[in-house]
Structure 1
Amino acid sequence: MQTLTLPITGMSCAACSAYIEQTLNALPGVESASVNLLANQATITSTLPPEALITAIQDAGYDATLPSPELEGVPHVSPLRHGFPQLSTRAFTALTIAAASMLLSMTTLPATPLRYTLLALTLVVMLALSPETYRRAFTAARHRTTNMSTLVAIGTLAALAWSLTATIAPQIFITHGLAPDVYYEAIDFILAFLLLGAWLDSRAKLRTQSALAAFAQLTPSTARVLRNNTEIELPLAALHPGDQILLLPGERIPVDGTVLLGTSTVDESLLTGESIPVLKSPQSPVIGGTINLDGPLTIEATTLGADSVLSQLRRLLSEAQSSRAPMQKLADRASAIFVPTVLALAALTFAAWLLLDHSLPRAFAAAIAVLVIACPCAMGLAVPAALTVGIGRAAQLGILVKNGEALERLAQTRNLALDKTGTLTEGRPKIVAAHFAPNLSPEDHQHLLQLAAALERHSEHPLAKAVQSYIPTHTPFTLTNIKTIPGQGITATYNNQQITIGNEALSHQNRVPQVRTLGPGFPQPSTPTTKLHLTINNQLQLTLEATDTLRESAPQALTQLSTLGITPHILTGDNAATAAAIANLLNIPAAQIHAHLLPADKLTIIQQLQQQAPTAMAGDGINDAAALAQADTGIAISGQNVGTDLTREAADLVLLRPDLTLIPTSIRLARRTTRTMRQNLGWAVAYNLLGLPIAAGALYPHFHILLSPALASAAMALSSISVLFNSLRLRRFE
């Protein structure tokens, strides 16, 4: 089973994407298929080869290609971009011809040559400037389905048939007491407005993809590599891990790596949202796509291709923008049945006018107006347009949203559970005191410290790193049966003795009685600290005390959360006194502090909070994975290694820099995006509820207002454009 993203061309409305999705999901071997109209792509999970999927899409009347490796995971915006100038030329040419047709119709030229001239101009618009409208309608009919082009094609072809008959054989109309009117300028305006709408639509779609387009342009195509003491320029595909790459000030870093030589500042703003350049020196990690600002650097390539941070970002952002929010399901269902409903309404409109007014021309014009004014595109774009812009803006601010459903859930958040160590605090604790069991010599003290460091080398926990930093020299120990217990500590065997290092929960589990009182020789500290207990054969030998500093952004973040109506809760495996000290600094009540928690306990607390209100969880470590997955929205806090943070599949959001104010920012953006979705859906529904009756002639009996097909076409174009431009307002979110 593999997941593949295929670029698709030829889609014009929500009915198109719904039909392709239905076709793909009906294939044996396809587990799931999702088609994104805005991104022009299909995401398919199946056991079928890509060629079989492409053939199925082509058989449905559309076109698909395999993405190029360098653009893998990036929405297929290139056809829009490449066809953009041509589309604008066709749109404005069609508008010019439509205006000329209208002006010619107002002249007093002889009727017969004038009508043939208008016919010729209309055929140019239909066959040369807007042929895809009829191709799409014919393809849909051949597959027994409908789309937006079906409505336009039926309306304009019916108007052409009427006008052509009035041009070639006007006596047929005169014999039946009808005026031989023609609708050539109406056809021209309908197709011109359709092309203009498509051009503006493409322009807006390209703008909605600005975040991904920026990511796609980040990586340079070549790099200067030092091989055999010779500097050579190679394409990125020819690089290997371990290559030494030379960088000058102002150049983009081509791959993820580690600085070997030099000191410089690096602009990581597009990846992390942080505007302040980051100082890099030997052993500092660097990320491909960022900019080396003011000093030459030599870096060693570490991660290439699809595993790089930039590729992961592009892939996750692409998947998020292609995902569906719950609000979209209703819109998709409505769009799928919209075109057949409009066809039926047009037929009823024609019959009603003919029956009540006995005017064939008016009945004909009203039916065409109904066909043309209907626009399922607005409804189909209402949610994905807002979602795409909102997720793209989040990425620019340093917030990676993994799917649309998470963004909608985040907007409903009322409880926020926060891990303490590494989330509320810096996650870089320092050992401030060491207490040894009585009657031990200085040599015993040193031996116990070395043993503690040897144990902690098998853990990535911040406290483990603090222990290793506290002990300057490391003595090798032969440890066996090493076992890491999440949320508690580490156990191992040394010289046939059972040794452990961990928190009070681990010591209590091993029935070490001295820990609760710290026993003789272990004085009580004056300030709350986090304690690590080293035991040998369940006898306490050493207690290390650690402190961690509160994140600078934490107080401001908690204040902003309060204004948003979010109730914070602290979840920690640390002792209650240390947790209370942090909570006091943040004005968090004691009832919202949960200490002495194992990973399973954190999960339980999240479940309890969810019974009260929608709950989000923010954490940074593997101990938080279960709670992050259980929460309505899981938020992973990025540490020093962004690439590692991106692998935290349990989270729905990843903050690309450890700034807690990004949490309230993400909630505000989620609420704004959800509100925009509702506005778009409201506009799309209101437009059709008002527009269709007006086009059918509901205002004519009292106000003698009858919407012309040309004005109906302009209104149709305005509908989807208004939805897109309303969504684009999210780009200005601060």
Structure 2
Amino acid sequence: MEQITLPIGGMTCAACQHHVEVALREVPGVGSAEVNLLANKAMVTYDPAAVRLEALLGAVAEAGYEASLPAEDAGEAVSEDREPHLKLRAGLALAAAVVAMVVSMSLMGGGGASAGVARWFLLVLTVAVMGFVSPQTYSRAWSAARYGSTNMNTLVAIGTLAAFGYSLAATAFPGAFERVGLAPDVYFEAVVFILAFLLLGSVLDARARRRATDALRGFAGLRPETALLVRDGVEREVGLAEVLAGDLVTVRAGDRVPVDGVVIGGRSAVDQSLLTGESVPVMRSVGDEVIGGTINLDGPLTVRATNVGAAGVLAQMQRLLEQAQTSRAPMQRMADRASAVFVPVVLGLAAATFLVWMGVGGFGVRMLPRAVSAAVAVLVIACPCAMGLAVPAAVTVAIGRAAQRGTLIKGGEALERLARVDVIGLDKTGTLTVGEPRIVGVRFADGISEAEGQRFLEIAAGLEARVNHPLARAVVRYVGGSVDIDDVAVEPGMGVSGSVGGLRVVLGNDAMLAEAGVRVAEPGARATLVHLAVDGKHVLTLQAEDVVRDSAALALGELRGLGVAVHMLTGDRVEAAASVAGELGIVGDAVHAGLLPAGKMEFIRAMQGAGHRVAMAGDGTNDAAALAQADAGFAIGSGTDLAREAGDIVLMSPSGSLALTAIPDAIRLARRAVRTMKQNLWWATIYNILGLPVAAGVLYPHFHVLLSPVLASAAMALSSTSVLVNSLRLRRFQ
């Protein structure tokens, strides 16, 4: 199965979103389809062998909407001019509405020739607004009707056409109204105001949507368009697409790094804040990795490109962020079910309102103006947009804000699960500690000569050279040289084995050697111990020490303040784990040492079985199973392997400079986002529950309050905007 994100045009409300999703899901070979109303995009999972992309576009078109293939720029998103000249048309409609209101006031004096002229003027003005300023309302309503669907445009179109038809009859045949005792009142100004407020709401919505998706566009803006390529000793400026893996590029002071790579010349401070959330620039020199999109601050660097184009960290972040913002949060399911039937229910309620008002007068014509006014008000005050945007708006802003702070949350479901976390398991090496241990000592078994000892050290380094683990890198650095090892096999969380010169060699912790049938008798020590056995005999032990992260104690205090119980899960020895735990105030049964990967996963399962929501934070391969099992998994690393991380949340800061306070920050943001979702859903529900009956006239018998279509349209225009504005408060999260 493959995924594609299609830009969708013509959607205005949650009903539109539902119709597009249904149309895409009905295409044979489509596994899933999720539509983001906020970003006007659909993320489709499909079988490329069974589905042609043209079939997806055709399905959307048959549903009455527009779809296109994605542009190369993943950051291209919502723009304020989603409809052509939106601001201009809104301004013209508002000006026309003011003119219509002034002319309509002249009609209050009674009839006469001047009144007839005023009505015809209003008729022409209204036709101009309907046909030239806001034609999309009617074309989209008609398009939806052709395919048997409804949306917000359906409500507005029916309401304004009903008011226009009544007003047209009163203008063309005033005498017929007067003969039955009705004043030939017109609602042209109401029609113009409804369309004007609809366009004004679209302008406000477009601006709010653009701000909600600023993070995605911000990542797109980090990518430079050109690079200084060095080939055959000649430096020339080329387009970014011409840079290949292995090429050399020069990055001048003040320029953005064009691609991911390794520094092979120069030394400079690099600002990574927009990608990783780090507030302090980091030094980069020969051998260090740099990420495309970061800013070189001090001196020139020569960089060998490693990941280019779609393989780069920035491109991966853009894709994952877009997918995350498009994903559906569980809380949205209720809103989706309501939105699917919302428009038909409102149409039925408007019809019932008209009939009830006519019934008040014995189905006589005297109540016709009020019946029309009330039915139109019911149609235009209803706003499925507010309910459809309630959850995705909060999800989009929250995930975007987290990404700006160097934390990538992979979707609305992960965000909701994270908000409910009350227990967290933290790996020790590379998570609570810096993850770059150093070898502080070596102890050889009795009878080992100096030459033999050096040979055994080189064997240990040869084994560890095949392992991507902080402890393995420490061994390689300590020894310096190594020998080639055959038949290397890695046991995650335990060690590595192989053969050299026909001898079986095993390097790892106590459990690894015990499994190989080798008994190691070492006194308790605070250091992490790595043992080497050759041909079934223990020959040496390496002692490694790591440094606790500066931010660890503060982060654990913040987690406890949030009501989250902290546990340390490590495969290290009890003595080494107790040393770090004591320094951080983790005591008693909250310290779990000597755990294999399966043991970490079992701990999480046990806590979940006891009713807890469990998070896990780890940086190694041996943590992958626990990260996947956890309700919310924090994957800690440099971000170079984003696409295959097992965690729900990726902390982008490079391992050595990681601030663990990003974990409680993410939990706080998730809880605030979920609170905002609930507020939005509550507002959207209460708005419609209260607004629809008031528009229908339930207050009129006792209070003589009847909502005019003009006020109803203003309320409708502001409803979805209020939901978006409330969600945008998450952008200020610190």
- TM-score category, normalised to shorter length: over 0.9
Match of 1:105 in 2: 104
Can you list the C-alpha shifts for 1:27-65, whole angstroms capped at 9, x where unaligned?
Answer: 111111111110111111113121221121112211111
Can you list the C-alpha shifts for 1:509-563, whole angstroms capped at 9, x where unaligned?
Answer: 12222x1x33xxxxx36x4111111112221111111111101110000000010
Which of 464, 468, 476 is the matching residue for 2:483?
476
Match of 1:521 in 2: none
CA distance in structure 2 between the aligned counterparts of 1:631 and 1:75, rounded to whole angstroms: 34
Q: 1:82 to 1:706 in 2, by over 3 A?
A: closer
Match of 1:465 in 2: 473
Alignment TM-score, normalising by the size of structure 2: 0.96
Match of 2:573 in 1: 575
Match of 1:422 in 2: 430
Please show how residues 238-257 of structure 1 align to structure 2 within 5 Å: 238-257=242-261
Which of 436, 440, 443 is the matching residue for 1:432?
440
Which of 245, 259, 263 is the matching residue for 1:259?
263
Cα contact 2:35–2:42 (8 A) shared by 1: yes
Q: Secondary structure at the match of 1:464?
A: helix
Match of 1:6 in 2: 6
Cα contact 2:378–2:696 (8 A) shared by 1: yes
Match of 1:659 in 2: 659
Pairwise CA distance, 1:248:
1.9
Match of 1:502 in 2: 508
Match of 1:561 in 2: 559
CA distance in structure 2 between the aligned counterparts of 1:649 and 1:331, rounded to whole angstroms: 31
Aligned residue type for 2:239: P
1:96 aligns with 2:95: yes
Aligned residue type for 1:650: A
Pairwise CA distance, 1:268:
0.9
Which deviates more from structure 2 when the two are superposed, residues 354-363 or residues 318-327?
A: 354-363
Can you list the C-alpha shifts for 1:100-141, whole angstroms capped at 9, x where unaligned?
Answer: 110111126811111111111111111111111001110111
CA distance in structure 1 between the aligned counterparts of 2:488 and 2:603, rounded to whole angstroms: 30
Pairwise CA distance, 1:381:
0.2
Aligned residue type for 1:66: L
Can you list the C-alpha shifts for 1:56-111, whole angstroms capped at 9, x where unaligned?
Answer: 11122111111122x14x4632xx34447821111121111101110111126811
Cα contact 2:27–2:55 (8 A) shared by 1: no
Which of 383, 390, 413 is the matching residue for 2:391?
383
Match of 2:680 in 1: 680
Can you list the C-alpha shifts for 1:304-324, whole angstroms capped at 9, x where unaligned?
Answer: 111111000000000000001
Match of 2:28 in 1: 28
Match of 2:64 in 1: 61
Can you list the C-alpha shifts for 1:119-176, whole angstroms capped at 9, x where unaligned?
Answer: 1111111111111100111011111111000000000001111000110111221222
CA distance in structure 1 between the aligned counterparts of 2:328 and 2:699, rounded to whole angstroms: 38
Cα contact 2:496–2:508 (8 A) shared by 1: yes
Pairwise CA distance, 1:203:
0.4
Match of 1:76 in 2: 77
Cα contact 1:84–1:203 (8 A) shared by 2: no
Match of 1:141 in 2: 145
Q: 1:32 to 1:475 in 2, by over 3 A?
A: closer
Aligned residue type for 1:215: F
Aligned residue type for 1:571: L
CA distance in structure 2 between the aligned counterparts of 1:492 and 1:476, rounded to whole angstroms: 12
1:318 aligns with 2:322: yes
Cα contact 1:256–1:301 (8 A) shared by 2: yes
Pairwise CA distance, 1:375:
0.4
Cα contact 2:389–2:720 (8 A) shared by 1: yes
1:410 aligns with 2:418: yes
Match of 1:207 in 2: 211
Pairwise CA distance, 1:298:
2.1
Pairwise CA distance, 1:357:
4.0
Match of 1:642 in 2: 639
In structure 1, list runs of 5 or more residues that go unmatched.
Answer: 519-523
Aligned residue type for 2:600: K
Cα contact 1:512–1:539 (8 A) shared by 2: yes
Q: Secondary structure at the match of 2:11?
A: coil
CA distance in structure 2 between the aligned counterparts of 1:458 and 1:223, rounded to whole angstroms: 34
Cα contact 1:7–1:75 (8 A) shared by 2: no
Cα contact 1:606–1:615 (8 A) shared by 2: yes
CA distance in structure 1 between the aligned counterparts of 2:173 and 2:668, rounded to whole angstroms: 65
Which deviates more from structure 2 when the two are superposed, residues 219-228 or residues 25-34?
A: 219-228
CA distance in structure 1 between the aligned counterparts of 2:608 and 2:225, rounded to whole angstroms: 48
Aligned residue type for 1:632: D
Pairwise CA distance, 1:476:
2.6
Match of 2:496 in 1: 490
Match of 2:228 in 1: 224
CA distance in structure 2 between the aligned counterparts of 1:574 and 1:238, rounded to whole angstroms: 47
Which of 174, 180, 195 is the matching residue for 1:191?
195
Please show how residues 475-554 of structure 1 align to structure 2 within 5 Å: 475-477=482-484, 479-513=485-519, 515=520, 517-518=521-522, 524=523, 527-554=525-552
Cα contact 1:265–1:278 (8 A) shared by 2: yes
Pairwise CA distance, 1:435:
1.0
Which deviates more from structure 2 when the two are superposed, residues 704-713 or residues 480-489?
A: 480-489
CA distance in structure 1 between the aligned counterparts of 2:606 and 2:76, rounded to whole angstroms: 39
Cα contact 1:84–1:202 (8 A) shared by 2: no
Can you list the C-alpha shifts for 1:678-702, whole angstroms capped at 9, x where unaligned?
Answer: 0000000000111011000011011
RMSD: 1.3
CA distance in structure 2 between the aligned counterparts of 1:50 and 1:461, rounded to whole angstroms: 42
Provide the aligned length of Structure 1 versus Structure 2.
717
Cα contact 1:39–1:75 (8 A) shared by 2: no
Can you list the C-alpha shifts for 1:324-362, whole angstroms capped at 9, x where unaligned?
Answer: 110001101101110000001111111111112451111
Cα contact 1:223–1:254 (8 A) shared by 2: yes
In structure 2, list runs of 5 or more residues that go unmatched.
Answer: none
CA distance in structure 1 between the aligned counterparts of 2:712 and 2:406, rounded to whole angstroms: 43
Aligned residue type for 2:684: A
CA distance in structure 2 between the aligned counterparts of 1:219 and 1:414, rounded to whole angstroms: 38
Can you list the C-alpha shifts for 1:1-43, whole angstroms capped at 9, x where unaligned?
Answer: 3211111111000000100100111111111111111011111
Can you list the C-alpha shifts for 1:700-720, whole angstroms capped at 9, x where unaligned?
Answer: 011100000000000011110
CA distance in structure 1 between the aligned counterparts of 2:510 and 2:626, rounded to whole angstroms: 21
Match of 1:234 in 2: 238
CA distance in structure 1 between the aligned counterparts of 2:417 and 2:175, rounded to whole angstroms: 66
Which deviates more from structure 2 when the two are superposed, residues 392-401 or residues 233-242?
A: 233-242
Runs of 4+ in 1 over 3 A off after TM superposition: 81-85
Pairwise CA distance, 1:495:
2.3
Match of 1:166 in 2: 170
CA distance in structure 2 between the aligned counterparts of 1:727 and 1:83, rounded to whole angstroms: 20
CA distance in structure 2 between the aligned counterparts of 1:306 and 1:194, rounded to whole angstroms: 40
Please show how residues 573-612 of structure 1 align to structure 2 within 5 Å: 573-612=571-610
Cα contact 1:222–1:234 (8 A) shared by 2: yes
Q: Secondary structure at the match of 1:647?
A: helix
Aligned residue type for 2:387: M
1:394 aligns with 2:393: no
Match of 2:55 in 1: 52
Q: Secondary structure at the match of 1:106?
A: helix
